[in-house]
Chains A and B, each alone.
Chain A
Amino acid sequence: MRETVLQARRLSKSYGSFRALDNVDLAVYKGDICGLIGRNGAGKTTIMKIITGLAEKSGGEFELFQRPGEALGDEKRRIGCLIENPAFFGGLTARQNLQYYAIQKGIADRRQIDRALELVNLSDVGNKKFRKLSLGMKQRLGIALALMDHPDFVILDEPINGLDPIGIRELRDTFQRLNAEEEITFLISSHILSELYMTANRFLILDRGRVLKELTKEELDLACMRCLAVHVGDLKQAAVILEQNGISDYKVIDGKELRVYDEAIRPERLNRLLMEGGVDVSAVFETGISLEDYFTSLVDGREQ
């Protein structure tokens, strides 16, 4: 069984009558780069604020590093985070800002500041005042703070906001390298699906304070892959017919639908094979959608 870094059960948060989180269950496992996908107001930032102690939960519970979240105490140092916009002291330089937080955390090795700046390509502007940095640089400094002190779990809220395409790619590589080499677990939120898809290996799709779907990258690929979907009366018999005809690249989706991923199979041939085998076919259609469409279909499905 995989070690959980974050486990939330029936987590809720209300602001007056507005329910920002509604009984959310989620788990982030050690070594994950977990993408939190959702529209604005879906509850991504609220989840992050609760688990980092910036907001109080209204109900439910959560564990960080297998300990109750509220009782974390000094183990908070194992977390690095950037929630909402990067916030630093405008009159201090980038390096002085990191130095301030390094002193706070009791980091004796000041080389960690240089390393953090290097990781986000800010070494050259370390002596520039925060207020004079560009939006992208400010964002990177926020990420540098999150990565300082070798955290075990990094929580990043919309980290690529304001970054240029090259900066985005560099950061993606940095996250993946830190994940692979230092086993840092990431929880990253974004509404830029394509970017999150390229970075993360697990996804949590949120909408209106609820987790709609939790899936791995493979499952997401499968869900979005081009294929033939067929609705049949007898799934077991249909599977036997497909196997008899040498078609093994298929997957049973639910009680009536299976999907065939073999690109050589045409819909009319699939229909004929099943009909001749005595299986009732109510629909055969080509499917496979983009990430955006998949996300939209999930959200729309919930709305309907």
Chain B
Amino acid sequence: MLNMIKADFYRTVRSKAIYFAVILILVMLALDIYTVEPGSLGIHLSVDVGQQAEMSSELSQMDYEQLRALSMKDYRKLRLKVTGYSLDRDILASNMNLYYVFLVVAAVAVAADFSGSCAKNTLSSAISRKKYFVSKVVFVMLVCVILHFLNTYVMYFGNRLFNGGNLASDLGSVTRITLLQLPPVLAMAGILTGLAFLLKRMAVFNAVGIPFVMIVQMLLNFLRMALKLPEEVMHYELQTMIARLAMDPTLSYTLQSCAVCGGIVLLFGAAGWFSFRRAEIR
């Protein structure tokens, strides 16, 4: 199994897709750091869990039209004057964007194997299905965790370098947030690996994987309203968990999130495994 993981690392570092994923992270971070405002890309926070920053008088006095008229450079200047605000913490709260980076990882590691029929080379003469499945899950999770940490520290040092210490937390805090966010990160990796084993073909995987979290969010919201469920239900949706775990969560919430994320990993792992276990490999 270790050999499988090593081989996947060998292949992944020779694949353009992973560099595309890293560049995507860097571009997202660069924009967040430059505009001094996260979440203007991709999925925005679905619930307001942001910090109550003390806005500079200039920004707080502007209306929407005036804000829109500002150039990016001017907007940055005004944002830099904001006090009592940790940009890095806010950027970590919007880490759901990493889902699309993780999607690339799962596509390269699993879907490409099935789509290009390369899985048959491995399964016919190297390894059992069980070991193949477990090693792929472990590999995807491992790479996602590496990218998650890379994202944190590039962001942290980038923010300090370009924006100074005024908008930065300390290294211990961002590390703590990164660790707290591990369960939802692993859940995202689990969802994507499960989907890749379930759907197998790259085109189908992309078609389902890309809108998947948004559809789940919409469904949860719909169910909450239709069944008159408490607002707290949405606290256990992935994007909200990522955001809330970045904002000094309570111990009980942290543990509940761990349990929910564990459940997600198990659910999608089971779906992927049962679909793959007896499937004919083409």
Chain A positions near chain B (C-beta within 8 angstroms): 49, 52-56, 73, 76-77, 79-81, 83-85, 87-92, 96, 99-101, 103-106, 145-146, 151, 155
Contacts and interface: CB of A to CB of B under 8 A. Distances in A.
A77 B131 CA distance: 14
Nearest to A73: B128
B126 interface: yes
A87 B121 contact: yes
Contacts of A53: 123-124, 128-129
A269 to B, nearest CB: 57
Interface in B97-135: 112, 116-118, 120-129
B120 A79 contact: no
Given A55-B281, A96-B14, A104 B126 contact: yes
B7 interface: yes
B109 to A, nearest CB: 12
Contact of A151 (B4, B116, B125, B129): B125
A107 B80 CA distance: 56
Interface in B1-39: 3-4, 6-7, 10-11, 14-16
Nearest to B129: A53
B228 interface: no
A83 B124 contact: yes
Closest 5 CB pairs of A and B: A87-B117, A52-B124, A103-B7, A104-B7, A54-B281
B92 to A, nearest CB: 33
B280 interface: yes
Contact of B120 (A54, A89, A91): A54
Contacts of B15: 89, 91
A76 B126 contact: yes
Contacts of A89: 11, 15, 112, 116, 118
B278 interface: yes
5 contacts: A88-B121, A99-B10, A104-B4, A105-B3, A151-B125
Interface in B119-156: 120-129
Contact of B125 (A73, A77, A100, A106): A77
A104 B120 contact: no
Contacts of B16: 91
A52 B125 contact: yes
Contacts of A79: 124-125
B280 A56 contact: yes
B197 to A, nearest CB: 15
Interface string B171-183: 0000000000000
A76 B127 contact: yes
A104 B123 contact: no
A79 B127 CA distance: 11
Contacts of B118: 87-89
B280 A104 contact: no
Given A54-B281, A56-B280, A105-B3, A92 B14 contact: yes
A78 to B, nearest CB: 8
A101 B126 contact: yes
Contacts of A52: 120, 123-125
Contacts of B124: 52-54, 76, 79, 81, 83, 155
B3 A145 contact: no
Nearest to B277: A56
Q: Which of A89, A103, A104 has the most CB of B within 10 A?
A: A104
Given A79-B125, A88-B121, A92-B14, 10 more contacts: A52-B123, A53-B123, A77-B126, A83-B124, A87-B120, A91-B16, A92-B11, A101-B121, A105-B125, A146-B125
A54 B4 contact: no
Nearest to B130: A73
Contacts of B11: 89, 92, 100
B211 to A, nearest CB: 27
A79 B16 CA distance: 32
Given A92-B14, A106-B3, A76 B125 contact: yes
Contacts of B4: 104
A100 B41 CA distance: 36
A101 B118 CA distance: 10
Given A87-B118, A89-B116, A100 B126 contact: no
Contacts of A146: 125
Contacts of A155: 124
A49 B7 contact: no
A104 B281 CA distance: 18
Contacts of A103: 3, 6-7, 10
